[in-house]
Amino acid sequence: MLFFFSPYAQLRNGGKNEEQDEDNDGKKGVKRKIIKKKKTTMSLANLIYQHMLVLSILFKHWFLGLINLFAGGPPLKDVSSDIVLITGAASGLGKGIAQRLARLGCTLVLWDVDHENNIRVAEELNNATNSKRVHAFKCDLTNKENIYACAKTVQETVGQVTMVINNAGVVSGKNFLECSDTSIQRTFDVNIMAHFWILKAFLPSMLENNHGHIVTIASGAGLVGA
């Protein structure tokens, strides 16, 4: 058997290999661009879907509320005998909830780490309702032991809580990598873990008396994910 060696053939084949490599690199580059474009498109589509989902849920509740307003919905539950715990009650939504429930005759237990403003809110509500049914407590929701201690104080001085409104929450407003470890830990402690500790403190008496309500407030991420 004879073997022939041709430098020209080798050079020609080498040229083809280089062309193939360049062609493959070009194809890979195009594929990467296509994949990146698909990811961007999927992210945009997912964002649009999330917003549409939130809007549809909000519209549903708005529409049902409108029907109840004009057609007359079920009568409001009498909560005048309830003891209601509201976390994050010193300002914002928590304060608004407290104002509304105070007008309905509830006994209110206001928890907030901002004790000064929390006391001010309690005094305003007591003056507005001409009563002493609103009680303010300083509670650090990042501290499990402090939560249990506050719960015990409430049970001993006010009574057994029959309604819990987990309203307190913290938001850093930063991207994930911009958040410090301390900030991330605090967010989870207040927004998630505190709910468990509060329920462990008050749920047993609700079950024992077969009476109680638990309300937990989340952001839009509670509907569509973060």
Mean pLDDT value of segment 35-64? 76
Q: Which two tokens stand for residue 155?
A: 């049970």
Structural domain for 202, as ranges: 83-218
Q: Are both 111 and 210 inside the same structural domain?
A: yes
Q: Are both 99 and 58 inside the same structural domain?
A: no
> Residues 79-89: pLDDT tens digits?
999 999 999 99
* Secondary structure E strands in the chain: 83-87, 107-112, 134-138, 163-166, 213-216
Looking at the structure of the chain, the number of domains it has is 2
Q: Are both 71 and 133 inside the same structural domain?
A: no
Cβ–Cβ < 8 Å for 86, 112: no
pLDDT of 35 > 80? The answer is no
Does some domain include residue 225?
no
Q: Are both 96 and 69 inside the same structural domain?
A: no
Mean pLDDT value of segment 36-45? 65
Q: Which of 75, 94, 125 corresponds to the end of one domain?
A: 75
35-49, 118-132, 150-164, 200-214: segment of lowest average pLDDT: 35-49
Does some domain include residue 2?
no
- Which residue reads 């928890």 in tokens? 111
Q: Are both 111 and 88 inside the same structural domain?
A: yes
* Cβ atoms within 10 Å, residue 196: 12
Q: Are both 99 and 200 inside the same structural domain?
A: yes
Q: Are both 35 and 67 inside the same structural domain?
A: yes
- Which residue reads 């501290």 in tokens? 143
pLDDT the model gives residue 131: 93
Q: Which of 26, 58, 75 corresponds to the end of one domain?
A: 75
What burial letters (b/e) apply to 70-97, b meaning 16+ CB within 10 Å? eeeeeeeeebeebbbbbbbbbeeebbeb
pLDDT the model gives residue 40: 64
Instruction: Please give the mean pLDDT across all residues of the chain.
Output: 83
> Residues 97-152: pLDDT tens digits?
999 999 999 999 999 999 999 999 999 999 999 999 999 999 999 999 999 999 99
pLDDT the model gives residue 5: 41
